[in-house]
Structure 1
Amino acid sequence: MDSAGRRAQESLVVELSALGSAQVSLVGGKALNLGKLAAAGFPVPDGFCLTTVAYRMAAPAGLDGLAAQLDTLVPGGSSDGTTATDRPTPGELARQARELIVSAPIPAAVDAALRAAYAAMGPSTVVAVRSSATAEDLPFASFAGQQDSFLNIAGGDAVVQSVRRCWASLWTERAVMYRFANGISQRTVSLAVVVQEFVAAAQAGVLFTANPVTGVRTETVIDASAGPGHAVVSGSVNPEHFLVESASGRILQHTTPPPNGRGPRPGLADAQAMDLTATAGSVQRLFGAPQDVEWVIDAGGKVWLTQSRPITALYPLPVTGTDGGDSRPQDGSRVYLCGTLLQGLTRPITPLGIAVLKAITDRKGKWDYAYPGLRMYIDLAPIIRNKRGRRYLLRILPLADGRAAAVISALLADPRFAVRKHQPRRTRQGRTAPETSGAGTAASLALLPGFLWALIGAAVRPRAELERAHAYQERLEAELVLPEPATAVRRLEHVRGILDPAFDGVVLTTVPGPTAGYLMLALARRLLRGIADPRELETVLRGLPHNVTTEMDLELWKLAEAIGADSAARAVFLAQNPGTLAGRYLDGLLPQAAQSGLREFLARYGHRAVAEIDPGMPRWSEQPDHILGMITNYLRVQDPEQAPDRQFARAAEHADARVRSLVERSRGRSRLRARLVQLCLCRARQLSGLRELPKFYFVLVLAEVRRQLLTVGADLVRAGRINDADDIFFVDFDEARVGLRGADLHGLVAERRQVYRREMQRRRIPRILLSDGTDVEAVLLAAAPHADGALAGTPASAGTATGKVRVITDPVGARLEPGEILVVPSTDPGWTPLFLTAGALVMEMGGVISHGAVVAREYGIPAIVGVPDATTLLHTGETVVVDGAAGTVRLAGAERHAEPLVDLTPH
């Protein structure tokens, strides 16, 4: 064989021990990691890798075409407006790809190289044949179980056929859909195959070098079973379970499955579990990240490692610093509260959205922030370690998020968070400075006198306060104007320059009013001690006037009524989906009643959006699908008594009646007390509705930020620096400037979008996160007793409702029938149009003053917030009874005395 032939064969087959420096594109993730383990001296069964060169040589004609077709499909729809019946499904295309591979001949060079490499292992050697995809065992996606492996294979013919089956498994429907979900092109993937000596297992299993449930990085989790490890991986057996303290090897928990009646099963000895833990710790140090390790112990007691890959499900550690390095202590001595969850936001924030948040929060300087998982976290350690600070936190946090308050209460006993007199902290520049309890910085103190004066003025002259707050919009809009023409650099400067003054202006102009309203309500509660139950005051906040979000929702209802009254418009809305309606509106082709009405609505509210605090999210004026879907929902309301405007009017009537009742009851104590109660409650109703106005105005600012940045993005597209204008939201301000100076941003944007897609799929967001990655609530839930019965949360709006569950995780395009029980992760103003036809609201997040709770009370619908895992434990179509006063959700017909599954409500 000449040198060229030898090079070709060498590219087809590579020994495992020589893979340590190979490219993932040549050998795939699994083989690359095994090669690194072998090169580092870990016990890995001998074998070789048939590289992706062999797969590409064997790939039949037509496979690239099928992959290209798959890349044009959008799961659940199509990208070109054709219907589902017009195009093949991903499953059909994947099946065709598999059939092509199974039926195609294997090239002679590939067959010869494979047989020769197998023969070199020894005649009739029993091997394991494992898939190793180029998109596998990656830091952001494990692809666990997506491709096939075959065990106990002997003979050249059997090995060749197993390889062919591995290749075909790259095109199973599950693998194709997994690539869709992770944003990986079907045309870029390829498959190598690992052939290794098969180890007959006495014991086998899986090991995690971090606790995948709680996020604790100092614990090792081992699942073990007699026989081959695929039984543990596939879930076909109940494994023996170990929880080990990684540093010491101490067994923290050891659970054995019940006997199966077939005699005793050999178990994993504690010493073996400790040895596995130590070995896995070395593996983690090799790869520099927590690992998911598959292992086998042979009949002689020797441990073999058969796979190692990153644990992709762990929530990222809190990090600070522009270089992305982790500057936080890894002993869990910092505690972070997820601020974006408090805003009703479960999805990640775009990188430029985070840059905007940083521009505001860094200037104010009261707190330290981190942004793991593209979400904002606030460092609470300073306030928790302060005696007065923790009292304040325990008083206020239950109102904002009952579940977070319960977790913090449990955390206070931890000695790491004991009260300290002097608390040195590390500043952003790396210097040591005394920690404070949030007393504020010069920037915040400068606002304080004006704020206090405005607060007093609001309480004394509420009508003037209302006029001042509502008149601010015109002044704000004038301040946001950038004279044209403007360069891209000038636009970036403008965006960065308007944030601080706009924030200060919004706070001074709109926050004093609702603050005064809630203070007056608190004073009324004190005056009514011994006269009324505090819960009775909830009714006073129903049907509040001057709430811009409520006004928006009722305006949308009026628009729906106008569309419903026009037969042509009504027919179009009931016949077409929101996406099609949005396209017609943007083209000016809706019936006139709808076209003009929607244009007027968006002229006032088009700057709003779902997840609107992120300027990376499209505004309703750009993508009105959500609003059009809500209108279609409203058109299905048949019962006049379910009409949102009537419900809101009834809520206001009930509130007025409750005010009169409380005033009359307080008159029994004294006329003065009655007059004071009346004054306080009237002020509360006049001013508390303004609570939505600060966010409404600041979202106006963010909408202008978005408009200017899209223009910058368009400039970068024309210069060839990015692909799409909205790629601008995946860089920060400095990176955008570098792009304008000529730097190529394609790679950076692609990497950031990949991370963003991964975080979009994350369903569990830690509300309280320690600096070592511990999800504190997950630890508490893992230790909590489990019982059948109701789900429990924090009561947020009294009343009971029975109806069918509708679980909705994204409001865009959501359908809610009148009277259904709306079950959601959390809400922001973009969700509230759904409230108008909901029978009740159940939220996984939030407290009694969170956005969803306040709006539910105003609409007079029962609501419960802070219900753990409500969107997974409740299922669409189930009939449940929601008791908003008790804070419970029960299946209809369930016993009333049933215990809650989980109750983290503070008591």
Structure 2
Amino acid sequence: MKTALAFSEIDAGMLAEVGGKAANLGELARAGLPVPPGWVLTTEAYRRVAEGLDTSGDGLAERARRHLLEAPVPEDVRETIVTSYAELGDDVPVAVRSSATAEDLPFASFAGQQDTYLNVVGAEAVVAAVRRCWASLWTDRAVAYRESNGIDHATVRLAVVVQEMVDARVAGVMFTANPVTGRRHEAVIDANPGLGEAVVSGAVNPDRFVVHGGEILERQAGDKRLTIRSVPGGGTERVETPYDGLCLTDDQVRALAELGARVEDHYGAPQDTEWAIDGDGRLWLTQARPITTLYPLPEPTRPGLRVYFSVNVVQGVMGPLTPMGLSAFRLISAGAAGVSGYGPADPRDGAPFMAVSGQRMWLDLTTAVRSRFGRAVLPRMLALGEARTVPVFERLAQDPRLSVVHTSPRPVLRGLRRFARRIHAPSRVVLALTRPKEGLAYAARIGEQLDRRLRLPDPATPVQRLDHAERLLAATFPAILSIMPMVLTGYGLFALASRLSGVPIADMQDVLRSVPHNPTTEMDLELWHLATRIEPEPFRKEPVAELVRLFEAGELPPVAQREITAFLDEYGHRGVAEIDLGVPRWSEEPAHLLGVLANYLRMDGGADLVPSALFAKGAEAARSAIAHVASEARRKGRWRAAVVRFGLRRTREFAGLRELPKFYLVKTLAGVRRSMLVVGEHLVGLGVLDAAQDVYFLGFDEARAALGGGDLRALVAERREAYERESRRRHVPRILLSDGTEPEALATRAADGALTGTAASAGTVTGVARVVLDPVGAHLEPGEILVCPSTDPGWTPLFLTAGGLVMEMGGAMSHGAVVAREYGIPAVVGVPDATHRITTGQEIEVNGAAGTVTLS
């Protein structure tokens, strides 16, 4: 390998030899873009100097820096640096810049993690700067960044770019897509007099320009109080210089935007660039890297601006779904769409309204946004489950690009009629009103039928298993949806009782406390009772890993072994992120469950905090609430009181069934998961996969094709790596437009300290916050306030000890809100950035009636 390469010798495929920064500069130069001349000292030079460096153990960063700063530079490497530098001219001022192999990547930019040295003059100064660049690979920040992105230190190498300095009159950065709103092809330019380091380092408030389609949408003057400029003979200086007005003309702004568009077109993706304009007015491009923070866009299926709504966010599953999990939801969505008469020709394609992006599920709501009927109905529906989305939806309705084009409600009504007919909604409503016990029995029969459908012939071939899985997933959802008319009847009567009595719905929430027939509540209470029945040792002293080993070996104390096994027989299909069939269940990985039991047994709370006692108090509060609402109704007429009592009794009878369809759906997914594991074992035997679990990184169609043989191990490895990268994504939009815009980012944020959301469960509590991002292994002391992104049933064992709940997602009818009400804990949901703005240990007050969270 050559030790030094000119930019003209470098292309994007040479990452291992020249690092990300140099690979991009070489690619830009070869594309004819205005890049200052330069060359790169390859990673081979670094490898030789770093030979023998131990990248394990504590104190790694400091040890590595010392090694690289003290190790001698091989003489031939020194000669290469001196010779290559001389080829640029006599004592030419250069920028000496780090270029790591884990840098400027499509999934992680590593911007600013390694060092750059500006206006370096003289060969010996360049050699010294190269050595400091090598050492900067091991700054504390660079080491931490690699660890957070799952990159092995031992695999990283560093090249060094040496590039002629531009004596910039004005310089700065330019994003070819708006990094705040996500809007594609909207250039955002920050500019400041002097070298661009002032902007890159954040040392100034620069001028800002926003350009779209050649039109300058925004001109914002910064104070520009600091200028960084080159000093004759080498180095830079910082000068405070007042600067009035804008430092770029409109023509220069448009020229920059045009240059950015050329760079983006070359790479086929939005770019983060650095640029400079010299004293002659010439525009230079000094850097380009992918913008890694933008959320990827769904593949467009229809023309025009589209509106996508995140299924993951509303379900509280912020991470990605496995390929087989996504494949399952395509089949499920196809079955759901078919109920209304809008199913796809091939169920494997998924419903027309389903999209996938960032390995997560999205619903295309464009038709609803652009229809008169949708604008009337959808905000009311969102107010129940995703209240934060309502103002976003209302702002979208004002966008002229999303004007109403569907004026007639007839197509929607026809679909609703088909839907109601297919799930026998009228008869289910009558059943709920007149024969509630038969209604509950019907809901139980759906579960029994599902258990029968889950059974496979023994033995079943892999083809039979795949046929069964696809058929089951497409057919199950319509069947379990037939429970919902009874649930909606209960909630409809709840609203009717409010109207007849004059009591606002917000003041009737106690009616919904401790409702029966909720499988998630029943599961949580059973888990608590389980903790009271089993032997407390070894749960009070052994770590979770040891508890798992004892359980799997059948060596727990006899009652614990028997009772936990029985619990998993009933509820082992559940788990965290359970809507993804590619994710292990509690029955497979019981660590979370055993950890919860250990936490319960280590608690030191009074009898009044026992969940069963709290649940009984909730039921008593509900009876009192019904009596109060009925007495208010009696003031307006005796018959009203009778209707209110009847209606609220039905509400309590059927409201708990709200969780049952998901309970059945998750049981279906768990059954399919078990069956697909057998298919995976068969594919391992064929040499197609390395491990049976790898089957979850294939779609159903791919698994079927793989039965014919082949080798999919490389594909699975690539998908696992992509899945891990997506798992580290810190932000997922709730609404995303097809041009990349996140509408919520356009909204004005609340002032610091003013945390407001949606009132979800009445009551006020002051306590210590516990921020939990993942329920697995989490511990909540009695009375602590749980602060989390969102919840699914895998979170609810924590609710038994929580004093209150704050969630970033959700509305009054979202999962966490419903469970909080049933347990009688104050809750506020839909609180933007709650997990960032609240810290563990901070005392907060949660007002579940006002929808506010006050920080002390």
CA contact (8 A) 2:371 2:407 kept: no
* Structure-2 separation of matches of 1:171 and 1:289: 30
CA contact (8 A) 1:798 1:885 kept: yes
Q: CA deviation at 1:738?
A: 3.3
Q: CA deviation at 1:579?
A: 3.4
- 1:436/1:727 CA distance change after superposition, 3 Å: farther
1:533 aligns with 2:504: yes
Aligned-residue sequence identity (percent) comes to 49
| Bigger shift: residues 224-233 or 25-34 | 224-233
| One-letter code aligned to 2:329 | L
* Structure-2 separation of matches of 1:351 and 1:294: 37
**2:781 — aligned with what?**
817
**2:183 — aligned with what?**
216
CA contact (8 A) 2:191 2:248 kept: no
* Structure-2 separation of matches of 1:499 and 1:654: 40
1:715 aligns with 2:685: no
**2:348 — aligned with what?**
none
* Structure-1 separation of matches of 2:735 and 2:12: 40
Q: CA deviation at 1:857?
A: 0.6
Partner-residue secondary structure (3-state), 2:242: coil
CA contact (8 A) 2:191 2:207 kept: yes
CA contact (8 A) 1:183 1:754 kept: no
1:294 aligns with 2:274: yes
Q: 1:574 aligned to 540, 545, 549, which one?
A: 540
* Structure-2 separation of matches of 1:179 and 1:721: 32
**2:470 — aligned with what?**
496
**1:265 — aligned with what?**
243
* Structure-1 separation of matches of 2:177 and 2:355: 21
1:254 aligns with 2:220: yes
CA contact (8 A) 2:385 2:814 kept: yes
**1:371 — aligned with what?**
356
Q: CA deviation at 1:469?
A: 1.6
* Structure-2 separation of matches of 1:521 and 1:667: 16
Partner-residue secondary structure (3-state), 2:358: helix
Q: Any idea what the Cα deviations from partners look like across 1:459-516, whole Å, max 9, x if unmatched? A: 21111121222243333222111223333333222221211222232223x3233222
Q: CA deviation at 1:318?
A: 1.8
**1:342 — aligned with what?**
314
* Structure-2 separation of matches of 1:853 and 1:739: 44
**2:449 — aligned with what?**
475
* Structure-2 separation of matches of 1:478 and 1:102: 70
- 1:821/1:231 CA distance change after superposition, 3 Å: same
**2:615 — aligned with what?**
648
1:761 aligns with 2:739: no
| One-letter code aligned to 2:255 | D
Q: Any idea what the Cα deviations from partners look like across 1:830-865, whole Å, max 9, x if unmatched? A: 111111111111111111111111111111111111
**1:322 — aligned with what?**
none
| One-letter code aligned to 1:643 | V
1:522 aligns with 2:512: no
* Structure-1 separation of matches of 2:684 and 2:115: 41
Q: 1:513 aligned to 478, 482, 486, which one?
A: 486
1:547 aligns with 2:518: yes
| One-letter code aligned to 2:247 | L
CA contact (8 A) 2:211 2:254 kept: no
Q: 1:414 aligned to 399, 403, 406, which one?
A: 399
| One-letter code aligned to 2:521 | T
**2:37 — aligned with what?**
46
* Structure-1 separation of matches of 2:359 and 2:560: 38
* Structure-2 separation of matches of 1:161 and 1:656: 80
Q: CA deviation at 1:766?
A: 1.2
Q: Any idea what the Cα deviations from partners look like across 1:252-303, whole Å, max 9, x if unmatched? A: 1313137579441375223333322221111111111110001122333322
Q: Any idea what the Cα deviations from partners look like across 1:424-480, whole Å, max 9, x if unmatched? A: xxxxxxxxxx995485399846614x2332232122111112122224333322211
TM-score (normalizing by structure 1):
0.87
Q: 1:15 aligned to 3, 6, 31, which one?
A: 6
1:400 aligns with 2:400: no
Q: CA deviation at 1:791?
A: 0.7
| Bigger shift: residues 822-831 or 483-492 | 483-492
**1:659 — aligned with what?**
626
Q: CA deviation at 1:378?
A: 1.1
Q: Any idea what the Cα deviations from partners look like across 1:533-559, whole Å, max 9, x if unmatched? A: 322221111110111111111111112
CA contact (8 A) 1:291 1:309 kept: yes
- RMSD of aligned alpha carbons: 2.4
- After TM superposition, the structure 1 = structure 2 runs for residues 100-119 of structure 1, keeping only pairs within 5 Å, are 100-119=67-86
1:27 aligns with 2:9: no
CA contact (8 A) 1:182 1:754 kept: no
Q: CA deviation at 1:883?
A: 0.8
**2:592 — aligned with what?**
626
Partner-residue secondary structure (3-state), 2:539: helix
Q: CA deviation at 1:581?
A: 2.4
TM-score (normalizing by structure 2):
0.92
Partner-residue secondary structure (3-state), 2:286: strand
* Structure-1 separation of matches of 2:15 and 2:736: 33
CA contact (8 A) 1:637 1:643 kept: no
* Structure-1 separation of matches of 2:757 and 2:183: 26
Q: CA deviation at 1:131?
A: 1.7
Q: CA deviation at 1:154?
A: 2.6
| One-letter code aligned to 1:807 | V
- 1:251/1:465 CA distance change after superposition, 3 Å: closer
| One-letter code aligned to 1:387 | R
- After TM superposition, the structure 1 = structure 2 runs for residues 714-753 of structure 1, keeping only pairs within 5 Å, are 714-753=681-720
* Structure-2 separation of matches of 1:711 and 1:146: 46
**1:354 — aligned with what?**
326
**1:78 — aligned with what?**
none
* Structure-1 separation of matches of 2:395 and 2:830: 16
1:829 aligns with 2:808: no
* Structure-1 separation of matches of 2:309 and 2:415: 18
**1:308 — aligned with what?**
288
* Structure-2 separation of matches of 1:134 and 1:788: 39
* Structure-2 separation of matches of 1:620 and 1:353: 17
| Bigger shift: residues 336-345 or 150-159 | 150-159
| Bigger shift: residues 704-713 or 395-404 | 704-713
1:585 aligns with 2:551: yes
- After TM superposition, the structure 1 = structure 2 runs for residues 833-852 of structure 1, keeping only pairs within 5 Å, are 833-852=797-816
Q: CA deviation at 1:517?
A: 1.5
| One-letter code aligned to 1:388 | F
* Structure-2 separation of matches of 1:492 and 1:181: 38
- 1:675/1:833 CA distance change after superposition, 3 Å: same
- After TM superposition, the structure 1 = structure 2 runs for residues 56-71 of structure 1, keeping only pairs within 5 Å, are 56-61=47-52, 63=53, 66-67=54-55, 69=56
**1:454 — aligned with what?**
428
**Residue-pair matches, total:** 828
| One-letter code aligned to 2:812 | V
CA contact (8 A) 1:221 1:241 kept: no
Q: CA deviation at 1:346?
A: 1.8
CA contact (8 A) 1:794 1:866 kept: yes
Partner-residue secondary structure (3-state), 1:132: strand
- Unpaired runs of 5+ residues, structure 1, are 1-7, 70-87, 320-325, 424-433, 893-907
1:686 aligns with 2:653: yes
**2:233 — aligned with what?**
none
